[in-house]
Amino acid sequence: MYAGWVEARLTNEEHKRATHDRWKQHIQHTEWRFEQCGRCTFWLPLTGKWGLDWGVCSNPDSPNDRTAVFEHDGCAGFEEADEWVVPED
């Protein structure tokens, strides 16, 4: 039953928009705008459409470790990847 609920939420555009709007209130887009999460080697994009804008930080030295981050966020633990990381679906 839980899996069905999750799948329904992942395909519901209204839920996606509401979640994006709620999460973006925590975006840290001013201080590190040139060292963005989406280009960090520690950024793990979410799958599907979510991964175009959102990922999870896996840098143990970052205050964002284990949290969902917007692709344009950044932090002092940034390490540049060779390319912008995008989801593979």
Query: Has this prediction a pTM greater than 0.85?
Result: no
74 touches 35 (CB < 8 A)? yes
Tell me what pLDDT residue 56 has.
94
Tell me the pLDDT tens digit for each residue of 1-21: 455 555 555 567 888 788 878
